[in-house]
Amino acid sequence: MLTQAVDDYLAVRRAAGFKLKTTEQYLRYFVRFADARGETYLRANSAIDWAAQAKTEVERHRRYQCLMGFARFIHVEEPCHEIPPEHVFCGYLPRPTPYLFTDDELRRLLDAAVRLGPPGSLRPRTYKTLLTLLAVTGLRPAEAYALRCEDITRDGLTIRETKFRKSRLVPIHDSTRCALAHYLEHRAGTAKDDDHLFVSLAGRPLSPCLVSRLFRQLLREADLPDRPGRPRVHDLRHRFATRALQACPGARDQVSAQMLALTTYLGHAHVGSTYWYLEATPQLMTDIAARCEDFVWGEPS
């Protein structure tokens, strides 16, 4: 009975556009757990016991929340299924503090990319162009890896169905467009069987693991911190976002417009995701504190 309920739940939600790859893994795993207990209906105690098997509190919370959604769905048609109580596990996971590359550090990183081997290969140009593009556009690394040559258009970069299955157009500066055109000239003749913009030495699309491993090599060669957790490739996106906020005009209505524009440009689903950059950056927090003091004491902003 639970297996059929899982099939129905996944079919309905996928018809609405959700992928649910991880959700399916969780639910199939739970069904096997419930079957071993001889249960044909979802029981709250079993849901708690199954989720509690995870090694971390965050993972326990994720499992439990997955079951909560499933339980509400199947309870509507069959009240014998129990809906587990809320707030059993704490799912708060602090975001890692971003590493904000200075101009000099970014220059050293790109210089290290230019020195990559093997001699005469496309590899140095690939990584210099990739890292520069991330720094000046704020793309998610996965979005850059997925770019196709045809995604470079007159209006900007076409980002197709990435996080939250949303597509968007990212305008780029003329200098960025020229750099990409220069890179494409050198790319011509390589990876003829694959149209991804950035490719590996084997002519295949770049993988996150490959880029992460090479990025750490570049950090060492550029004499930048190389320790677990940071700096990360994703920190180039953080650098772009914080620079954009630091350049924001001071008037309150202009700030709101800038935040909304940045939210759209970065592909955030909610403006709250963009506001996080304010509290994650010491200089921005200092600016906010100063403006709050001006507001409290009645001085013009």
pLDDT in the model for residue 280? 64
Residue 286 Cα to chain centre, angstroms: 26
pTM of the model: 0.70
Higher pLDDT, 280 or 51: 51
Give the other-Cβ count within 10 Å of 98's Cβ.
21
Q: What is the mean pLDDT of residues 31-43?
A: 96
Query: Where is average pLDDT lowest: 84-98, 100-114, 192-206?
Result: 84-98
pLDDT in the model for residue 236? 95
- Residue type present at position 86: E
**Active site residues per annotation:** 140, 163, 234, 237, 268, 277
In whole angstroms, give the CA distance from residue 125 to residue 82: 57
pLDDT in the model for residue 102? 93
In whole angstroms, give the CA distance from residue 84 to residue 65: 10
pLDDT exceeds cutoff 80 at 284:
no
CATH of segment(s) 103-233: 1.10.443.10
Domain boundaries, the chain: 2-77, 103-233, 237-296
Q: What is the mean pLDDT of residues 29-55?
A: 96
In whole angstroms, give the CA distance from residue 118 to residue 16: 47
Q: What is the mean pLDDT of residues 118-139?
A: 95
| pLDDT confidence bin for 257, thresholds 50/70/90 | confident
Virtual torsion, Cα 264, 267, 271, 273, nearest 10 deg: -150
Q: What is the mean pLDDT of residues 208-231?
A: 89
pLDDT in the model for residue 190? 77
pLDDT exceeds cutoff 60 at 67:
yes
pLDDT in the model for residue 90? 83
For residue 190, what are the contacts with CB-CB under 8 A and spacing of at least 6?
A: 122, 199, 203
Task: Please provide the DSSP assignment of 91-122 as one string.
Answer: ---PPPPPP---HHHHHHHHHHHHT-SSTTSS
- Quote the percentage of the chain above a pLDDT of 90: 61
